[in-house]
Amino acid sequence: MNRNPYVILGIPFGASRAEANIAFAGKARSLRRRGREGIDQLTDLTWALQQIDEAIRNPAAAMELYRIPADPQAFRVNGEGVLQPPPEHLAARPGDRDAALTELQHAAARQYLRHLVALRAARVSVPPG
């Protein structure tokens, strides 16, 4: 699978090393707080930064990488649209609310009962036999 370092860093194709450093720093800061998942993604970010620095000497001549629009505004969603539809409000049907509330209360009671049984079981000691 081909990976594009510009996509990984979230910068336009052909961006400078300085722009890559800024993007790397911003993304790395938030990833460090995520634990193991963040470390894996940080490895990808480091690879992308290294690729921009070492492997892509002349971005204008690099034909092996797919390119995305260089205009960051192309990715901004402002308002509702195909990829961000408004929520659909369904009309309430008679009896739905009462039945749902009753089922929720029963489920909560069962869960609480399991919790109480587990607490009691933790306090019970088996006599040596």
Higher pLDDT, 43 or 72: 43
To the question of pTM greater than 0.85 for the whole model, the response is: no
Residue 124: the pLDDT is: 79
Q: What would the pLDDT profile of 91-123 be if each residue is shown by its tens digit?
A: 877 767 888 888 999 999 999 999 999 888 888
Residue 106: the pLDDT is: 96
Question: How many whole angstroms separate alpha carbon 124 and alpha carbon 120?
Answer: 6
Question: How many whole angstroms separate alpha carbon 58 and alpha carbon 108?
Answer: 62
Q: For residue 22, is pLDDT > 50?
A: yes
